[in-house]
Amino acid sequence: MIDKENSQSWHGTTIIGVIKDGSVTIAGDGQVTLGQTIIKGTAKKVQRLSPGGLDIIVGFAGSTADAFSLLERLERKLETFPGNLSRAAIELAKDWRTDKYLRNLEAMLIVSDGNDLFIISGSGDVLEPEEGIAAVGSGGNYALAAAKAIYTSKISSEEICKKALNIAAEICVYTNQNIVIETLSKK
């Protein structure tokens, strides 16, 4: 049986990350939806973190409160494993899957340190996309398809993210065109 109350919390955003030509961009729309109602159109679901002086960009889809709990834990993991996003992401995913409290959190993260791009999920997955494009959220598949279609054109990772999110917003009713973008250069 589908839990309608919890499935509603998954609607309301699209996050995309793209690695191309020495930079990594993570972008997200600003729509927050509860059921079929738009609550807010200007939410910021892409953020820059600087634990221990390391620049990290993170985008999240799902429950906002759950995502912020995960962001706090990710920051702690990055302080425990300074400069090692891969290890911090794996440790967060392990905790997320095995901890009684964390396992109920409903969110997905896309994270990057400028070198690596990962999707972190509550099922214990830390996924590194093979083609340098990651997308999550209700419009994630639309944005992913659009980004793949234009990836080989002579535009930046930032432009790919903008175009992909605008296309997703035209198709997904839970995605809007108020886009927040963060970009890091590879180190």
Over residues 146-177, the pLDDT tens digits come to 999 999 999 999 999 999 999 999 999 999 99
pLDDT band at residue 8 using 50, 70 and 90 as cut-offs = very low
Q: d(Cα 99, Cα 105) in Å, to the nearest integer?
A: 10
Q: Which of 64-68, 92-96, 107-111, 157-161 is predicted least confidently?
A: 64-68
Residue 130 structure tokens = 């093979």
Active site residues per annotation: 13
pTM exceeds 0.85, yes or no: yes
Please choose, from the candidates 57, 26, 21, the residue with its C-alpha nearest in 3D space to the C-alpha of residue 156: 21
Please choose, from the candidates 178, 161, 119, the residue with its C-alpha nearest in 3D space to the C-alpha of residue 26: 161
DSSP assignments along 87-114, one per residue: HHHHHHHHHHHH-TTGGG--EEEEEE-S
Please choose, from the candidates 51, 77, 47, the residue with its C-alpha nearest in 3D space to the C-alpha of residue 64: 47
Across the range 27-51, mean pLDDT stands at: 89
Q: Which fold has domain 4-173?
A: Glutamine Phosphoribosylpyrophosphate, subunit 1, domain 1 (3.60.20)
pLDDT at 1 over 70: no
Of residues 10 and 143, more confidently modeled? 143
* 3-state secondary structure at position 3: coil
pLDDT band at residue 47 using 50, 70 and 90 as cut-offs = very high
Quick: pLDDT tens for 50-74: 877 789 999 998 877 788 888 888 9
Chain-centroid distance of CA 162 in Å reads 14
